Amino acid sequence: MSKLKKFITEIHRRSLWQVLLIYCGAALVAYQAVQALTEGLGLPQWFPAFAIVLFIVGLPIVLATAFVREAAAPAQAPTEPASEGEPARVGVDAAARGEAGDRRRLLTVRNAALAFVSALALWGVVATGWLLLEERTGPEGVESAASDRKMLVVLPFQNLGQPEDEYFADGITEEITSRLAEMSGLGVIGRTSAVQYKDTQVPIRQIGEELGVEFVLEGTVRWEKSAQGESRVRVTPQLIRVSDATHLWTNRYDAQLAGVFQIQSDIAQQVALALEITLLEPERRALEAAPTENPEAYDLYLRGNDYFDRAFSGETYEIAAQMYEEAVSLDPSFALAYARLSEVHSQMYWFYFDRTAERLAGAKEAVEAALRIDPNLPQAHSAFAAYYYYGSRDYGRALEHLRIAQATAPNNGQILTLLADIYRRQGRFERALQNLLKAMELDPRSSTLALEIGLTHFWMRQYPDADRSIDRTISLVPDQDLLYVMKARNRVSWHGSRQEAWAVLEQAPQEIELGVLLLRSVSGALALFRILYDDLASALAQLSAEHAETDPALYHLATAELYGRMNRAEAARAHYDSARTLLEAMRRERPDDAFFSSELAVAYAGLGLVDEAVRTGRRAVEMLPPSKDAMDGTDPVAYLAQVYLMVGEHERAIEQLEVLLANPGWLSVHWLRLDPIWDPLRDQPRFQALLHRYE
């Protein structure tokens, strides 16, 4: 017998094929679980690859073990020849060989299982250790935003040039703030809080008390443009100690526009020197780096920032993108402009101004260009995190880039905020809240942060804390209608009182048109609309198609529902059909959008298309389950509960409500008690038990 044939015979005899199949099959199943855990727990993206390595290492070990065990097995006693006239013991020997074969197969299966479990256990130990280390130190690397650090605010530098140059002075202020924020030994108040003191006469001491800072940096900027093309920039900064209004340092800078980066760098270094802050070598290099050598490109970049910072429409975003594109066309090595361009594209995609694959591809191309130019640029890694967050809900990869960004910019409040956003999406609300509170220390007068803290408390059903945070937000921006709606929503969830909700809405400076706010697609807005309006005719009068710009179908669904409750079946059917027409077209354009599929399922249910309604609603939940997005993923589940209710499958509707109440979200027991849509479930024992369970 040839050696190869003998080797193959031994492989068969030792059941190694079975070992290989069992091991590989189990590894495949485990790998899928590892991928799900990596995404769900926010582990780094190398963890699945680490699992593959462990499985590969384990395979030769288990195969080798099978050979070793075989060699170590006790030898069988030689079979004695049968005596003359005695029958041969063939049956006994065969049985013995069969038992040995069974033991061998059992041994190989056990080896495969043992190696597989060992590899998986090792992966679990490393993953658990990573999570525990992260919980202790945090990816943010910040114990407290203000602990053991000197706190400073950079007030908006006054523009002494032409009024149209205001953006330039603001840009200089922002760039100096950004450079100072990269110092690990200094806490710098965020732009949102600082800009509120622009063009005010608030005393320095009061600013210090309101922002919790010890030092203030203020100054003036004059951009003098010459007809001959030579432009000069004059900057006069001064550093003031709050406690006694002492000027610790001041200077006058006068340079050509191209020298503005050296001015910014020198100001930051002089502030560090005056405050006795030791700069690490990487921090010093970052301060000295110029983002571009092209003054015109830099001017376009600052103009883009001005539009981006106040973007409120697709048109404003487009102008910002155009400015950044012109900047990088003048200087293809302008990494910072590429990073901001990527952020514009990502936000336009996320906020439905341009929900196309081309827009998302533009975001990726821009940020990849930024990282090719400067692989360590924190703004580029932050932009890549935004791309994964806004573009694909890939929160694991987003976290990886934010950790890199934070290593270079440890005091960046925007990074802390994006971290919090990701943790919420992952269902890690407590950790999200910690990050938001740290960010708030760096930007204490940010209405956005105050609202996000309130929203996080609301989602965690911590209604008293949510109420206080929303009140804080209202104190900062009292003219925002949406804040009063959010507070009314919180009061309904907290106390289950329509009267309290209406009292909150009446506190708004101007009359609130709930129908308009409903059509902005705020989670739970339609339910709040149903709860507050007993008079269906008045509710109907609140709705108008012209206010449903981002989601026209929502107007038809809300109107159809009201007509249905008014027993006007034909009118209801007409609006459900209008919604169906719009949503089917939207689904063809965006087949992976769970929200449009959820709304389409409701339209199908309203038209009596039961199978299509249930199938479409389930598909929406599969596309965006709460396990993928703990916030937006609740809406498809709520819609599916409504679909089941509309088609008469009450038990399945209650099952979806159980999912919603068992996890953080906007739905509460009081909502279920007050919302008339759930009236058909009132006498169901399982529904009543659900309400009592979560009271």
Please tell me which residue, 102 or 421, carries the higher pLDDT value. 421
**Quick check: 75 pLDDT over 50?**
no
As a CATH number, domain 301-505 is 1.25.40.10
Task: Tell which residue, 372, 422, 437, 381, has the closest CA to residue 405.
Answer: 381
The per-residue pLDDT for range 528-541, each reduced to its tens digit, is 888 988 888 888 88
Q: How far apart are the first and last CA of the chain?
A: 78
Separation between Cα atoms, residue 412 and residue 188, nearest integer Å: 9
d(CA 25, CA 271): 62
Residue extents of the structural domains in the chain: 3-72+100-137, 150-288, 301-505, 525-693
* Of 284, 305, 340, 272, nearest in space to 172 by CA: 305
Please report, as a single letter, which amino acid is at residue 134. E
Please, which residues have CB within 8 angstroms of residue 665's CB and are 6 or more apart in sequence? 459, 631, 634
Which of 348, 306, 343, 347 shows the shortest CA–CA distance to 323?
Answer: 306
Domain 150-288, CATH number (from 1.10.3720.10, 3.90.79.10, 3.40.50.10070, 3.90.480.10): 3.40.50.10070
- Please, which residues have CB within 8 angstroms of residue 493's CB and are 6 or more apart in sequence? 458, 461, 463, 666, 668, 670, 671
Above 90 in pLDDT, residue 272?
yes
**Hey, CA dihedral for 532, 534, 538, 543, is it positive or negative?**
positive
So what's the pLDDT on residue 538? 86
Q: Tell me, what amino acid is at 636? A: P
What is the predicted pLDDT for the residue at 82? 47
* Kind plus residue range of the DSSP H or E element containing 693: helix 685-693
- Going by pLDDT thresholds of 50, 70 and 90, the confidence category of residue 143 is very low
Alpha carbon separation from 468 to 104, 148, 445, 458, 615 (Å, rounded): 69, 28, 15, 11, 42
C-alpha closest to that of 173 among 307, 263, 286: 263
Of 540, 535, 531, give the one whose Cα is nearest residue 666. Answer: 531
d(CA 653, CA 446): 40
Query: If you ran DSSP here, which 8-state letter would residue 146 be given?
Result: T
For residue 21, which phi and psi values (nearest 5 degrees)?
-65, -45
Average pLDDT (343-354) is 94
> pLDDT digits over 423-439, tens only?
999 999 999 999 999 99
Asked if 123 contacts 51 with a C-beta cutoff of 8 angstroms, the reply is: yes
Tokens describing residue 364 = 């990726």
Higher pLDDT, 548 or 587: 587
Fold assignment, 525-693: 1.25.40
Q: Which two tokens stand for residue 624?
A: 């965006």
The residue assigned the tokens 């930024």 is: 370
| Fold matches, 150-288 and 301-505 | no
Q: CA-CA distances (angstroms) from residue 243 to 148, 202, 209, 240, 276?
A: 18, 15, 10, 9, 17
Average pLDDT over all residues of the chain: 85
Work out the percent of the chain whose per-residue pLDDT is above 90.
64
244-264 pLDDT, tens digit each: 999 999 999 999 988 899 999
The answer to whether residue 79 scores a pLDDT higher than 90 is: no
- Residue pair 457/433 in contact (Cβ under 8 Å)? The answer is yes
What does the pLDDT look like over 197-211, one tens digit per residue?
A: 999 999 999 999 999
Residue type, 454: G
Comparing 43 with 661, the larger pLDDT belongs to: 661
Say which residues have a Cβ less than 8 Å from residue 134's Cβ, sequence separation at least 6.
Answer: none
Reference 519, options 557, 562, 495, 554; nearest CA is 554
Residue in the structure block whose two tokens are 């800072």: 213
Answer yes or no: is pLDDT of 24 > 90: no
Smallest Cα–Cα separation from 519: which of 490, 488, 553? Answer: 553
Give Dmax (Cα) for the chain. Answer: 127
pLDDT in tens, 444-468: 999 999 999 999 999 999 999 999 9
Q: Crossing angle, helix 413-425 and helix 429-442, to 10 degrees? A: 160
Interaxial angle between packed helices 295-309 and 166-181, expressed in degrees from 0 to 180 and rounded to the nearest 10: 90
To 10 degrees, what angle do helices 498-506 and 525-532 make?
100
